[in-house]
């Protein structure tokens, strides 16, 4: 059908082409999601734009995978269909919103005409209201763009992608079927999107830098605490330079694992109040100045709000503000301030912190028991990890155990400490492994619990379909161990059906030479596994799937502390 | 902790006990869902209230299962945890809202104190707002009850359960951890909930009855068309009596399959405009009066809005109104009117309609091809079905194929023609099979597509865990056939990973004597399967799992019609 207005456009291209080319421009190479009749025509534009269609098993998993992909590549895109598809993904999008992960969520909509006429279409609530679902997404998206008019489509697309990156949060783009092939000005693509952070007001920035330096010079035993937002808001370079030049002992919050080169001499371990690693709590809590970078002080990130750090001794760097003791400097982004502070740093007074290693605790070494304990496993893992590994841990024992693992340099750590949706890690692993493949990263390693794995197990199929070769550990401990420690230690609601986990890759259609399975029940078997070249190599072109058997009633120390705090708070009387 | 106010209550019981006892009172016997630390304490009350905890693999599946359970038992209940759990189930709840299925969704919340103080807890968006998720649910629930105050808890619970039943839609109950054990008046339970429909105003009802009778007596060749809301709004008895006494030819819309005894002499088949069964369209569209009962005229229920029935020849019975030609009688519920119309019926002028049988079409019988075609299978299935079977069909070829199956008496048919979320059928099958077991119904039979099955496959594990024995057919046709017929016949986005479906029950931990698998690739093998006593018997204590192989490019005729209409509408230009 000829469109009069296209004649005025010199280089007309279709809306869907524009959208996918913009996504390519900002680094997206694969698109996650599922087909549906309201998005099918749009899917035809993915391959021509130089993108790969993943084809997930379901939309929640696609959302998790997009999250994992974005954490590695900086941004991701997902396509779902109106109502049924998008709502299946709501939990994943909410998680990305909560944890600052940029996902462009494209939803295939019925035609603008059908919407206007309130047709009783499939995938509606039957009430003629086509805005219900986008309204839900408003709560969990930093932009909602309904592409209902040709003339504003390009602007809305550009705006959504820019907001997605700058705010590092999901955006929602509604693409009605009749808009997919509408013509818009392709020449706009010649001007790349401006996705740089706006600079701080220089006068204000200098002022803040001076205040920070003043406290820093005066401090006798300062520490640095790096957290998630340093990663999400892209301040890792500034953070790294500051750590290296200052020499101040540096710690990470659980959500900040992976933000810091843990082989640096001044790296001290994980700080999380009462759940901290060995020697860490004393050092951090005795500091006369705590410099936090990108902090999110949530319950699970602080072992149940057990920080003992006074705001009077604190400087907080955020993406939206800097806070020195109780003085707030809103609108001053950390990146610029950190950079200048590092440049102007004079000689500081430093007291050493603890030096974490991956040594196995003494009583574990002495123990004659063959059982794989949590206390033994996580430091042992640290010895096996390699630089540039991607390590994904699920909410459960894994997410607390990893506090005990000192990483090699350049590890990307993925977990959901704040949102904490189980099943996330397996979906996320698919996305991360795909991003890794695109970037030449060799090993993507997943640790998930048996309970959590059951929520999203079929994404192993998507890994196989996309020829991905992650290393997957299922912690087989007969159920929801983390929940047992909160409430109902032996209650049947914390049990799960015993699966033959190892049989799943084959059932999901893996060809014989495409995968390898293992089961380890003793420390000795773990040692052998880690020594197995084919298993450990980054060159192995096989998905590796391990049943890692651990006791049902064993948990990392930090989990026990946090679980007790959670149980206490859950029982707290109201007035 | 002693609560002063409990001393004034004669028979104090805990809020959670009250809630679950009320659910038991209205017929719930099993509770679906997953644990989470915000609901763990509440779970302790399930067993003592005489209820069974299902323990699903994930929350979306739990939602689908609750939907299936409610369609068989009349109501269901599900427990999820704040944020991550409830949002995973949003799509299932929206589907239940859309299709009028009563589910009580109980969400475990953080303490009222934590909410008041806006604590930065796990499973939040990190912004201190604890109302975001309940606000989303407002759109898809007919009541949202936040149990934040002890003194109103009982009233809110009673109200929510009543609305759930009377409106036949989901309700949302937020149960903060600190409210679970608050004491309320247990004596309230001595008065059962009033869950009867309010009577129509008798004068108004009589008036409508007279109008209806006038048109009915005047009609020369009337027909009846029964649809979903006759089932959902509990008018099946009135509908049945009307059909039997009047002798008028009766048809069902696709969503109304199962509402009518299809062995009655005046049953005529499925009417859905251009997608209608043989002979049906002519008969319905030549009628001078079409009496619809509980109609939902959505696209997939009308083969793409292809009804050719004038409102001038129509009487519509609804739960909220009766409509005669263009005269509306709001607030008059169908049940009372139908009953009186039946009582007062005089002699009517009737012209016979078509008589559907389960005869295989002639060219299928003649065909020498062994391949199992859609045209052959569905009538053949009709010959194998038994009275009281529960038959679940998934969106895809199955949902259209079933139009060709004439049911024995008393079959319960489950599908999602309006909401159409794939993966639904497998989850729903778990809930339906459990309800069937509780009610002594022998066979629950699922037909799902290979593509759809992949979304929610792990619920087969929940069936095994709960010792359920449904008969599961996976239609193996190499992908999303229904989508191929809409757009992208051979495009790779309509392919799926080839699973070894039959290997899944074992991988999900089925013991050897707990299941049986089959693969049928020819009509002959289907015949043998249907003749196999162990397979067909309602007494068999095994889950039966069949790979039903069909061609990738074959679809029921009605699906082709509907898919063409959908593709046309998706391409419809806006102005
Ligand atoms: C979607 C979702 N549902 C429920 C929960 C509650 N939950 C948190 S951890 C957990 C159990 C995890 O068990 P598993 O994966 O086996 O880990 P383990 O602690 O045993 O290592 C549950 C049910 C959640 N966080 N997210
Ligand atoms: C949750 C959800 N995601 C996507 C869709 C779009 N959709 C509708 S039917 C279908 C394909 C179903 O394929 P299959 O189950 O193999 O059925 P077949 O037609 O091949 O029998 C898809 C992807 C949907 N309806 N719901
Ligand atoms: Mg476990
Ligand atoms: Mg299929």
Whether the predicted pLDDT of B574 surpasses 80 = no
Contact criterion met (CB < 8 Å) for B454 and A458: yes
Encoded tokens for A401:
């155990």
Among the bound ligands, name the one nearest to the CA of residue A40. 2
- What gap in Å lies between CA A259 and CA B482, rounded to an integer? 46
pLDDT on residue B6: 55
Which residues on chain A are in Cβ contact (under 8 Å) with B418?
122, 124, 126
Using left for φ > 0, alpha for ψ between -120 and 50, and beta otherwise, residue A73 falls in: alpha
Among the bound ligands, name the one nearest to the CA of residue B374. 2
Q: Is the CB of A422 under 6 A from ligand 1?
A: yes
List all residues of chain B from 537 to 566 with a beta carbon under 8 Å from chain A: 566
Please write the tens of the pLDDT for every residue from B537-566: 999 999 999 999 999 999 999 999 999 988
ipTM exceeding cut-off 0.95 for this assembly: yes
Residue the block writes with tokens 């989470």? B36
- pTM to 2 decimal places: 0.97
Alpha helices in B276-404 (DSSP H): 280-285, 334-344, 362-366, 374-384, 397-401
Partners of residue A476 on adjacent β-strands? A549
Residue the block writes with tokens 């043989």? B278
Give which of B84, B93, B487 to mutate to test A binding, by max A Cβ within 10 Å. Answer: B84
Whether the predicted pLDDT of B278 surpasses 90 = no
DSSP state of B178: G
Q: Is the CB of A417 under 6 A from ligand 1?
A: no
Ligand 4 center to B478 CA (angstroms)? 6
Residue B154 in 3-state DSSP? helix
Which residues on chain B are in Cβ contact (under 8 Å) with A1?
573
Beginning with the edge strand found earlier in the chain, give each strand of the sheet holding B321-324 in spatial order. B267-270, B250-252, B223-226, B290-293, B314-317, B321-324, B327-330
Contact criterion met (CB < 8 Å) for B55 and A492: yes
pLDDT-above-70 percentage for chain B: 98
Any A CB within 8 A of B123 CB: yes
Q: Angle between the B523-531 and B374-384 helix axes, to the nearest 10 degrees?
A: 10
The chain B residue lying nearest A94, using CA atoms, is B125
Encoded tokens for A344:
């102007």
Q: Is the CB of A416 under 6 A from ligand 1?
A: no
Longest Cα–Cα distance in chain A: 82
Any A CB within 8 A of B495 CB: yes
Which residues on chain A are in Cβ contact (under 8 Å) with B423?
58
Residue B196 in 3-state DSSP? coil
Using CB distances shorter than 6 Å, the residues near ligand 2 are A 34-36, 59, 81, 84-85, 88; B 394-398, 420-423, 449-452, 475, 477, 479-483
CB A309 within 8 A of CB A290: yes
Tally the C-alpha atoms within 13 A of residue A476's C-alpha that lie toward its C-beta: 18
pLDDT-above-90 percentage for chain B: 95
Partners of residue A547 on adjacent β-strands? A474, A519
Average pLDDT, integer, range B162-166:
98
**Atom from ligand 2 closest to the CA of residue B496:** 16
Please write the tens of the pLDDT for every residue from B98-114: 999 999 999 999 999 99
- What gap in Å lies between CA A101 and CA B153, rounded to an integer? 38
What is the average pLDDT score of chain B?
Answer: 96
Encoded tokens for A28:
């997206």
CB A428 within 8 A of CB A414: yes
Residues lining ion ligand 3 (Cβ < 5 A) are: A 449-451, 477, 481
pLDDT on residue A573: 64
Average pLDDT, integer, range B230-238:
97
pLDDT on residue A575: 46
List all residues of chain B from 36 to 55 with a beta carbon under 8 Å from chain A: 36-38, 40-41, 43-44, 53, 55
Which residues on chain B are in Cβ contact (under 8 Å) with A572?
111, 113-114, 178
Whether the predicted pLDDT of B1 surpasses 80 = no
CB A520 within 8 A of CB A529: yes
Beginning with the edge strand found earlier in the chain, give each strand of the sheet holding A321-324 in spatial order. A267-270, A250-252, A223-226, A290-293, A314-317, A321-324, A327-330
CB B294 within 8 A of CB B230: yes
A vs B, Cβ pairs < 8 A, gives 286
| Residue pLDDT tens, chain A, 575 long | 445 455 678 999 999 999 999 999 999 999 999 999 999 999 999 999 999 999 999 999 999 999 999 999 999 999 999 999 999 999 999 999 999 999 999 999 999 999 999 999 999 999 999 999 999 999 999 999 999 999 999 999 999 999 999 999 999 999 999 999 999 999 999 999 999 999 999 999 999 999 999 999 999 999 999 999 999 999 999 999 999 999 999 999 999 999 999 999 999 999 999 999 989 999 999 999 999 999 999 999 998 899 999 999 999 999 999 999 999 999 999 999 999 999 999 999 999 999 999 999 999 999 999 999 999 999 999 999 999 999 999 999 999 999 999 999 999 999 999 999 999 999 999 999 999 999 999 999 999 999 999 999 999 999 999 999 999 999 999 999 999 999 999 999 999 999 999 999 999 999 999 999 999 999 999 999 999 999 999 999 999 999 999 999 999 999 999 999 888 988 886 54
Which stretch of A176-180, A553-557, B481-485, B571-575 has the lowest confidence by average pLDDT?
Answer: B571-575
CB A414 within 8 A of CB A391: yes
Encoded tokens for A230:
């340093």
């Amino acid at each position: 059908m000829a469109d009069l207005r296209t004649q005025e456009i010199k280089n007309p291209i279709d809306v869907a082409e524009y959208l996918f080319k913009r996504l390519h421009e900002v680094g997206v190479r694969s698109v996650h999601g599922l087909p549906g009749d309201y998005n099918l025509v749009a899917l035809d534009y993915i391959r021509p734009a130089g993108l790969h269609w993943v084809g997930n098993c379901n939309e929640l998993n696609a959302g998790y995978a997009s999250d994992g992909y974005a954490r590695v590549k900086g941004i991701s895109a997902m396509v779902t269909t109106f109502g049924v598809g998008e709502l299946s993904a709501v939990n994943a999008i909410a998680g990305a919103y909560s944890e600052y992960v940029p996902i462009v969520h494209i939803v295939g909509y019925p035609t603008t005409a059908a919407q206007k006429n309130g047709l009783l279409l499939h995938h509606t609530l039957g009430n003629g209201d086509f805005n219900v679902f986008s309204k839900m997404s408003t709560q969990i998206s930093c932009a909602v763009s309904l592409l209902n008019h040709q003339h504003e489509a390009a602007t809305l697309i550009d705006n959504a992608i820019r907001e997605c990156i700058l705010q590092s949060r999901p955006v929602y783009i509604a693409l009605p079927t009749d808009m997919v092939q509408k013509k818009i000005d392709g020449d706009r693509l010649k001007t790349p999107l401006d996705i740089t952070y706006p600079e701080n007001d220089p006068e204000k920035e200098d002022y803040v830098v001076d205040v920070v330096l003043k406290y820093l010079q005066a401090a006798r035993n300062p520490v640095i605490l790096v957290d998630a937002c340093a990663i999400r808001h892209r301040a890792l370079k500034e953070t790294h330079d500051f750590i290296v030049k200052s020499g101040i002992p540096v710690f990470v919050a659980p959500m900040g694992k992976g933000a810091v080169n843990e082989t640096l001499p001044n790296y001290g371990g994980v700080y999380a109040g009462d759940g901290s690693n060995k020697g860490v709590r004393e050092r951090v809590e005795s500091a006369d100045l705590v410099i936090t970078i990108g902090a999110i002080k949530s319950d699970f990130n602080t072992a149940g709000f057990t920080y003992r750090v006074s705001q009077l001794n604190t400087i907080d760097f955020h993406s939206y503000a800097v806070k020195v003791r109780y003085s707030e400097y809103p609108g001053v982004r950390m990146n610029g301030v950190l950079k200048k502070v590092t440049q102007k740093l004079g000689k500081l007074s430093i007291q050493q912190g603890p030096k974490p290693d991956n040594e196995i605790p003494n009583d574990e070494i002495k123990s004659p028991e063959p059982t794989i304990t949590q206390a033994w496993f996580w430091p042992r893992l640290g010895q096996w990890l390699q630089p540039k590994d991607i390590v994904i841990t699920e909410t459960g024992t894994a997410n607390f155990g990893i506090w005990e693992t000192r990483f090699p340099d350049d590890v990307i750590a993925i977990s959901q400490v704040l949102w904490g949706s189980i099943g996330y890690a397996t979906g996320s692993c698919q996305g991360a492994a795909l991003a890794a493949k695109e970037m030449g990263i060799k090993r993507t390693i997943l640790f998930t619990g048996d309970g959590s794995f059951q929520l999203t197990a079929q994404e192993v199929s998507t890994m196989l379909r996309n020829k991905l070769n992650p290393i997957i550990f299922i912690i087989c401990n007969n159920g929801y161990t983390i929940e047992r420690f909160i409430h109902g230690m032996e209650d049947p609601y914390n049990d799960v059906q015993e699966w033959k986990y190892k049989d799943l890759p084959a059932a999901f259609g893996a060809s014989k030479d495409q995968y390898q399975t293992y089961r380890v029940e003793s420390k000795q078997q773990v040692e052998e596994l880690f020594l197995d070249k084919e298993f450990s190599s980054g060159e192995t072109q096989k998905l590796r799937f391990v049943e890692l058997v651990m006791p049902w009633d064993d948990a990392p120390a930090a989990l026990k502390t946090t679980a007790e705090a959670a149980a206490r708070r859950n029982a707290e009387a109201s007035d």
